[in-house]
């Protein structure tokens, strides 16, 4: 009778044990899944291939790799993990930042690149950018004279000066005038007589001048400016000139106004001085006429038929 009772209870006991095991298994599964979700992932820059010691890095040598945040060292170079446009831009910026840096040890493909693996970049100064025998001179600019603040280091410009002559309204009689008056038997003008003021003139004074800085930014080229950002507004530009050109610019700056003409990238040609125009109020109309586009050709045949 007892044996039958145990036999009758065995399915119930088995069901209870299986139920307990199922509950434990489900709880462990949910706990593992929750823990997996809690492991935050991060991305770092790694070597895309084997990189030898002393190699100068390029962007193609770098790629990204995801790791648990807890496994990322503070000396690793981290980048955003998502694929948003802002994240892609930030990753590209970091790669550009490393371009040109020299590695201090051998790196295997997929190996994390640490800041300590890279040699410190040499900080270039303004004097390092000067050509041999040249000088640096800064000229104050505004938005108009700097072509809307679009001139950047590495550009070449032509320099235009508008000279404002300075004379006294009451000019003393010169020795030359006295001699001319005596030889021509004519009266000498009064020392108090007014002399007509010479007209202001505008001319090209320098061509193809390299720009080595705008404001305090000496970063050369478009790639580096994308890295550091646009120079934005600045109040002066610095040119790489000879000593004689520096004297000329200083004189023009003191006597008048200076403007800059931005040259196309890669354009280094210059015009001979005989072809450079000099404009004042008297000959301005002449050059305006010459600068007009040619009139459209007339159809002679149609005019004759009429």
Task: Estimate the crossing angle of helix 221-228 against helix 85-98, to 10 degrees.
Answer: 120
At residue 238's C-alpha, the angle toward residues 237 and 244, to 5°, is 130
Look at residue 13 in the predicted model and tell me its pLDDT: 77
Most confident of 107-111, 167-171, 263-267, 295-299: 107-111
Could you state, in order of their start, the residue ranges of all structural domains in the chain?
41-117, 126-167+193-291
Give the architecture-level CATH label for domain 41-117: Alpha-Beta Complex (3.90)
Per the listing, tokens 């899944």 go with: 33
For 118-152, write each residue's pLDDT tens digit.
987 767 788 888 888 999 999 999 999 889 888 98
Mean pLDDT rounded to a whole number for the chain? 78
Q: What's the whole-number mean pLDDT along residues 93-109?
A: 89
Could you tell me the pLDDT band of residue 225, with boundaries at 50, 70 and 90? very low
Most confident of 121-135, 205-219, 264-278: 205-219
For 90-99, write each residue's pLDDT tens digit.
888 888 888 8
Could you tell me the pLDDT band of residue 221, with boundaries at 50, 70 and 90? very low
Look at residue 111 in the predicted model and tell me its pLDDT: 93
Q: Is pLDDT at 201 greater than 80 in this prediction?
A: yes
- Report pTM: 0.49
Structure tokens at 60: 């193609």
Look at residue 190 in the predicted model and tell me its pLDDT: 53
Pick 139 or 174 by higher pLDDT. Answer: 139
For 25-82, write each residue's pLDDT tens digit.
888 877 777 665 567 888 999 999 999 999 999 989 999 999 888 888 888 999 998 8
Structure tokens at 201: 């003139």
DSSP the chain: -HHHHHHHHHHHHHHHHHHHHHHHHHHHHHHHHHHHHHS-EEEEEEESS-B-TTPBP-GGGEEEEEEEGGG--TTB-EE-SS--HHHHHHHHHHHHHHTTPBBSS-B-TTPBPBGGGBPPPPPP-GGGGSPTT-EEEEEE--TTTTTTTT--TT-EEEEEEEE-----SBPPPPHHHHHHHHHTT-PPPPTT-B-PPPPPEEEEEEEEEEEEEETTB---HHHHHHHH----S-SEEEEEE-HHHHHHHHHHHHHEEEEEEEPPTT------GGG--EE-TTTHHHHHHHHSPPPPPP-HHHHHH-
Is the separation of the CB atoms in 160 and 203 below 8 Å? yes
């Amino acid at each position: 009778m007892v044996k039958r009772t145990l036999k009758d209870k065995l399915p119930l006991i088995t069901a209870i044990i299986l139920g307990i095991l199922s509950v434990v298994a489900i709880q462990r599964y949910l706990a593992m899944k929750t823990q997996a979700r809690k492991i935050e992932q991060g991305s770092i820059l790694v070597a895309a291939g084997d990189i030898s010691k002393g190699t100068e890095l390029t962007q193609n040598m770098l790629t990204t790799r995801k790791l648990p945040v807890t496994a990322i060292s503070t000396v690793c170079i981290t980048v955003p993990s998502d694929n948003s446009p802002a994240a892609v831009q930030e990753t590209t910026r970091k790669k550009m930042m490393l371009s040109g840096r020299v590695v201090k040890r051998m790196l295997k493909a997929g190996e994390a690149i640490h800041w300590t693996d890279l040699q410190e970049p040499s900080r270039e100064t303004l004097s390092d950018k000067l050509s041999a025998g040249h000088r640096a001179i800064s000229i104050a600019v505004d938005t108009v004279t700097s072509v809307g603040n679009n001139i950047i280091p590495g550009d070449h410009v032509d320099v235009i000066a508008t000279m404002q002559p300075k004379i006294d309204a009451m000019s003393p009689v010169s020795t030359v005038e006295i001699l001319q008056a005596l030889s021509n038997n004519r009266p000498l003008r009064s020392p108090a007589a007014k002399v007509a003021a010479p007209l202001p003139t505008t001319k090209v004074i320098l061509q193809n001048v390299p720009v080595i800085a705008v404001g305090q930014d000496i970063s050369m080229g478009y790639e580096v400016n994308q890295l550091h950002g646009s120079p934005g507004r600045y109040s002066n530009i610095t040119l790489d000139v000879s000593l004689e050109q520096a004297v000329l610019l200083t004189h023009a700056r003191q006597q008048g106004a200076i403007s800059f003409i931005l040259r196309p990238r890669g354009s280094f040609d210059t015009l001979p001085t005989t072809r450079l125009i000099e404009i004042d109020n008297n000959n301005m109309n002449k050059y305006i006429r010459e600068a007009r586009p040619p009139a459209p050709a007339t159809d002679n045949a149609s005019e004759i038929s009429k």
